[in-house]
């Protein structure tokens, strides 16, 4: 009886380990019943008493009984795990080291993850969702057989039938960085968090490029914006898309209400020149605070500081009726790239983080 209890505990432990700590249903009784039935059929004898363990024949029968119990364990556990997990791709994480990794999905889609990339597969058969953790993945989707969505915290790229490549770069925490797309055939739908969807279609003679990014808005005029994307050092200009004989009137109106020195989220398309398809200011959750981080860029009255966790942001010395605070200008002039600084800031009505104090 003591050995039965030990086997009960063993089966329960194996199941818990396989299921990530989840308590499994009571299967040990079924396992033992199957094993006992198999044993009875094999030797036609009743269960040996404790005294038989000391005899060679009794020991042999107990070892044979244990092997039958193990076989029954495999059958019952395997059956349970198949029914419990069902979809082998659900939650599957793939990481590529020095060589690309290819993953087929449900007979309608193929993923090729480039070296040093990582992703997680979710969703349902023929309606897969891929979360790109890092790197690049090329996706081939057969038309009218299923859907695929590839995304990160920056946005989602979804398709029904096409060939495209998604690359995640400049990642600075959840929802910050660059998610770029190359569409080789067909169309994809770009869906930013809380924004309007944008269709990106391949051209006849070359792939179409586009994507999502976050960064610091350094310039805004009536016809263009300049943004330093997260993960890069230089600003990039973006123009509204052409419509008829001019530029997109809706985007031209949006550009009038942008304030430089703020963080933005942007959807873009085309490689040269890059076109802005959507843009929004990223307002901080708090309107005042303290930041400690590394100086990545600076000017006469502003500094870009990157905290240990998160993307860089721009902090500016505000103007008053008497001009700028000279002590702040002096402190800023002594800063060097790579210095660690602590700033006390406030968010002003003209939408920028203003330096109140440099500690």
Same domain, 42 and 127: no
Residue-number span of the structural domain to which 137 is assigned: 92-281
Instruction: Tell me the two tokens of residue 5.
Output: 């209890």
Say how far residue 286 (Cα) sits from the centre of its chain: 25
Count of domains forming the chain: 3
Instruction: Tell me the two tokens of residue 207.
Output: 């792939």
Predicted local distance difference test score (pLDDT) of residue 350: 75
Predicted local distance difference test score (pLDDT) of residue 188: 94
The answer to whether 281 and 322 are in contact (CB under 8 A) is no
Predicted local distance difference test score (pLDDT) of residue 152: 93
Predicted local distance difference test score (pLDDT) of residue 322: 73
From first to last of its 359 residues, what are the pLDDT tens digits of the chain? Answer: 455 555 455 445 444 444 444 444 454 444 445 444 544 444 444 444 333 334 445 544 554 545 544 554 444 444 444 444 589 999 999 999 999 999 999 999 999 999 999 999 999 999 999 999 999 999 999 999 999 999 999 999 999 889 999 999 987 776 889 999 999 999 999 998 877 888 999 888 788 999 999 999 999 988 999 999 999 999 999 999 999 889 999 999 999 889 899 999 999 998 788 999 999 999 898 999 999 999 999 999 999 999 998 999 999 998 776 777 889 999 999 999 999 999 999 998 677 999 999 98
Same domain, 111 and 228: yes
Predicted local distance difference test score (pLDDT) of residue 8: 53
* CATH classification of the domain holding 348: 2.40.50.140
In three-state secondary structure terms, 38 is: helix
Same domain, 160 and 245: yes
Same domain, 201 and 221: yes
Residues 6+ apart with CB under 8 A from 272: none
Q: If 0-12 CB within 10 Å is exposed, 13-18 middle and 19+ buried, where does residue 142 land?
A: middle
Predicted local distance difference test score (pLDDT) of residue 109: 96
Same domain, 127 and 67: no
Overall pTM > 0.75: no
Same domain, 136 and 217: yes
**Residue at which a domain ends, from 51, 85, 119:** 85
Same domain, 117 and 234: yes
User: What's the CA gap between 187 and 200, in Å, rounded?
Assistant: 6
**Residue at which a domain ends, from 67, 85, 103:** 85
User: What's the CA gap between 238 and 246, in Å, rounded?
Assistant: 15
Instruction: Tell me the two tokens of residue 150.
Output: 């590839």
Same domain, 185 and 62: no
Residues 6+ apart with CB under 8 A from 239: 223, 224, 247, 273, 274, 275, 276
**Residue at which a domain ends, from 66, 85, 104:** 85
Same domain, 192 and 111: yes
Same domain, 318 and 257: no
Same domain, 130 and 265: yes
The answer to whether 146 and 106 are in contact (CB under 8 A) is yes
Same domain, 202 and 349: no
């Amino acid at each position: 009886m003591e050995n039965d209890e030990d086997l009960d505990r063993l089966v329960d432990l194996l199941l818990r380990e396989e299921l990530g700590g989840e308590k499994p249903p009571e299967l040990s009784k079924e396992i033992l019943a199957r094993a006992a039935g198999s044993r009875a059929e094999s030797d036609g004898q009743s269960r040996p008493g404790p005294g038989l363990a000391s005899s060679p024949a009794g020991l042999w029968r107990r070892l044979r009984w244990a092997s039958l119990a193990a076989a029954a364990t495999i059958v019952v556990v395997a059956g349970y795990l198949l029914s419990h997990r069902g979809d082998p791709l659900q939650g599957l994480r793939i990481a590529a080291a020095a060589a690309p990794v290819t993953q087929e999905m449900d007979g309608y889609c193929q993923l090729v993850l480039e070296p040093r990339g990582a992703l997680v597969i979710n969703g349902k058969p023929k309606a897969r969702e891929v979360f790109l953790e890092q790197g690049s993945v090329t996706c081939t989707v057969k038309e009218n057989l299923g859907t695929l969505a590839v995304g990160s915290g920056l946005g989602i790229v979804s398709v029904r039938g096409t060939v495209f490549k998604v690359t995640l770069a400049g990642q600075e925490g959840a929802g910050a960085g660059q998610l770029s797309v190359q569409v080789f055939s067909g169309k994809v739908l770009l869906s930013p968090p809380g924004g309007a969807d944008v269709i990106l279609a391949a051209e006849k003679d070359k792939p179409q490029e586009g994507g999502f990014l976050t960064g610091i808005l350094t310039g805004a005029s009536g016809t263009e914006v300049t943004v330093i994307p997260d993960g890069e050092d230089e600003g990039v200009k973006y123009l509204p898309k052409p419509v008829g004989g001019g530029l997109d009137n809706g985007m031209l109106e949006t550009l009038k209400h942008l304030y430089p020195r703020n963080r933005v989220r942007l959807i873009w398309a085309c490689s040269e020149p890059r076109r802005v398809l959507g843009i929004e200011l990223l307002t901080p959750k708090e309107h005042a605070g303290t930041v400690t981080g590394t100086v990545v860029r600076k000017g006469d009255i502003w500094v870009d500081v990157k905290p240990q966790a998160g993307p860089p942001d721009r902090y500016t010395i505000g103007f008053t009726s008497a001009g700028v605070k000279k002590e702040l200008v002096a402190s800023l002039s002594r800063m060097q790239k790579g210095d660690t600084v602590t700033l006390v800031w406030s968010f002003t009505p003209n939408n920028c983080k203003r330096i109140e104090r440099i500690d």
